[in-house]
């Protein structure tokens, strides 16, 4: 597990973590971890199979039922703090891994790695401070008094299945919440970003007291590995982040055993620019967030709704802002946008660009592979203007650096059409509102059918507040006490009340 001084040569852990031991795949298979900026092989990773997933679940079940982990919140907190220290001391390695295997510009990786490390202590505090037993008072029935209490308990074995766009953060968030709640975990990371998980597994073995079987990490390219986790009778909860289509499949696979599910799925977030907004600020923020991860951020605004009275000005500002963002080598500090994660995702975005052309949408910048980049899965930052709500580009999640701009009627200062357009989506993950009148902007925010709203760029995202979506953007919440409680069962116990003094 080494990295060259310049950060460009990175090696992560190749093995699985099963029952406290770093192991090869049971079949001995390996697959290449590819650099999306160069298409070169970074290294080989164990290609786990169904047998590995089954062994991991068996280990997690045994650790949950017999290991004492579920009954000792103080020990869980200590182990989480040990993990925090280990990750903090290796944060530069994880930043390099993020750039190497995900293509995120290295300058942005402090926000994708370092920013989330302090959150581990928040989960440790939940283990220590959460009210596991909650008195509910006495009741009287059938001629007697009864004392009731509500007990919160870990669910059991958690299967955490993560996607590639924010691999380190997703792995950490799901794992730490589950562990703090007393569950055991089988983590299945995306095959495109395995080292962000396997290297985490190595540190768990080397630097923490987390018992064998409590955390298991199984990489693999076959969908059968994830299917084993979503159907296995000894898995109690599945937490998944990824596309809505895959979320539907997981729901169907989990249905026969009625597993608990938390699903954070797709988004098609709208940014409403109100007539009185600081338009330059709004456009600059929307475009910067869109391109930081090459458009591969579920909550990033990809629909820009502009008032007709300022529409031409807004389109010009968005076009200029995106045209100025330079895609290229993610190790170069001057790079504003890295590549798409894979050849498949690159083709998906290019196909959507062709859809926009076929629909006759007005392309104002971008729309192709950058001509100066012959290798790597790069897409130019792109703007389509005059996009009607029936367009596929308005309705479907592209997951690339593509912004669609749509006007709304703001005669007499109205914004009701903007609200209707923002809500005209099968998704409901996030939205943004920009306006000088904060009270009015907040009133608009309350009318949006989404899980979170940012007004004038205010940060909505934190470990202490819930994140998730309405409609087909998911089920349940992550983060915050609400997200922590997704990993808990609820039990009511009643006993005869003692005689009154």
Catalytic residue numbers read 264
The two three-digit tokens of residue 53, written as one number: 């997933």
Handedness of CA 257, 263, 267, 270 (dihedral sign): positive
* Alpha carbon of residue 427 to chain centroid: 15
Reduced to 3 states (helix: H, G, I; strand: E, B; else coil), residue 198 is: helix
Element (H, E) at 55: helix 50-66
Q: Report the distance separating Cα 425 and Cα 232, nearest Å.
A: 34
Q: Strand, helix or coil at 18? A: strand
Which is nearest to 12 in space by CA: 56, 47, 44?
A: 44
Closest CA to 126 of 178, 71, 187, 161: 178
DSSP structure string for 469-483: -EETTEES-BSHHHH
Write the DSSP symbol of residue 162.
-
Long-range contacts, stretch 380-386, CB < 8 angstroms, 24+ apart: 380/327, 381/287, 381/290, 381/291, 381/322, 381/323, 381/325, 381/327, 381/337, 382/322, 382/353, 383/315, 383/318, 383/319, 383/322, 384/356, 385/315, 385/319, 385/361, 386/361, 386/362
Beta strands in 99-191 (DSSP E): 133-141, 144-154, 157-161, 184-188
Q: How far apart, in whole angstroms, are the C-alpha atoms of residue 401 and residue 381? A: 5
For the chain, the first-to-last Cα distance in angstroms comes to: 66
3-state secondary structure of 113: coil
∠ at Cα 172 (168, 177), nearest 5°? 160
Determine contact, residues 219/240, Cβ cutoff 8 Å.
Answer: no
For residues 176 and 119, is the Cβ–Cβ distance under 8 A?
A: yes
**CB 180, CB 127: distance < 8 Å:** yes
**How many Å apart are CA 381 and CA 346, to the nearest integer?**
13
């Amino acid at each position: 597990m080494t990295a060259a001084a310049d950060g460009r040569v990175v090696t992560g852990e190749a093995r699985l973590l099963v029952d406290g031991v770093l192991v090869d795949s049971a079949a001995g298979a390996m697959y290449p971890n590819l650099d999306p900026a160069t298409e070169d092989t970074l290294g080989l990773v164990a290609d786990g199979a169904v047998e590995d997933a089954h062994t991991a679940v068996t280990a997690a079940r045994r650790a949950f039922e017999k290991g004492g982990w579920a009954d000792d919140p103080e020990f869980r907190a200590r182990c989480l703090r040990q993990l925090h220290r280990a990750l903090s001391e290796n944060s530069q390695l994880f930043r390099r891994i993020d750039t190497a295997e995900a293509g995120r510009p290295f300058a942005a990786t402090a926000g994708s790695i370092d920013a989330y490390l302090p959150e581990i202590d928040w989960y440790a505090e939940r283990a220590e401070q959460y009210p596991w037993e909650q008195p509910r008072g006495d009741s009287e029935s059938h001629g007697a008094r009864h004392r009731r209490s509500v007990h919160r308990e870990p669910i059991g074995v958690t299967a955490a299945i993560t996607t590639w766009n924010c691999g380190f953060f997703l792995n950490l968030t799901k794992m730490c919440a589950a562990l703090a709640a007393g569950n055991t975990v089988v983590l299945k990371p995306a095959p495109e970003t395995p080292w962000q998980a396997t290297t985490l597994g190595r540190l768990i073995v080397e630097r923490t007291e987390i018992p064998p079987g409590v955390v298991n990490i199984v990489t693999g390219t076959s969908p059968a590995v994830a299917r084993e986790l979503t159907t296995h009778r000894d898995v109690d909860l599945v937490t998944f982040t990824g596309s809505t289509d895959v979320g539907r499949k997981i729901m169907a696979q989990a249905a026969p055993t009625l597993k608990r599910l938390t699903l954070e799925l797709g988004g098609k977030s709208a940014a409403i620019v109100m007539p009185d907004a600081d338009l330059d600020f709004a456009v600059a923020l929307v475009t910067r967030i869109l391109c930081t991860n090459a458009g591969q951020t579920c909550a990033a605004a990809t629909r820009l709704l502009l008032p007709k009275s300022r529409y031409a000005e807004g389109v010009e500002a968005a076009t200029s802002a995106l045209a100025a963002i330079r895609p290229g080598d993610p190790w170069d500090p001057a790079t504003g946008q890295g590549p798409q994660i894979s050849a498949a995702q690159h083709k998906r975005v290019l196909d959507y660009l062709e859809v926009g052309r076929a629909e006759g949408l007005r392309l104002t910048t971008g729309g192709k592979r950058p001509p100066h980049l012959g290798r790597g899965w790069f897409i130019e930052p792109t703007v389509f203007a005059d996009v009607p709500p029936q367009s596929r580009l308005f309705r479907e999640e592209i997951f690339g650096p593509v912004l669609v701009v749509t006007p709304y009627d703001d005669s007499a200062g109205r914004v009701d059409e903007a609200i209707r357009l923002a809500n005209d989506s099968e998704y409901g993950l996030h939205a943004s509102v920009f306006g000088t009148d904060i009270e009015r902007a907040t009133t608009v925010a309350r009318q949006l059918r989404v899980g979170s709203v940012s007004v004038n760029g205010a940060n909505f995202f934190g470990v202490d507040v819930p994140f998730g979506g309405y409609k087909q953007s998911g089920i349940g919440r992550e983060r915050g006490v609400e997200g922590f409680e997704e990993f808990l069962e609820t039990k009511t116990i009643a006993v005869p009340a003692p005689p009154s003094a």
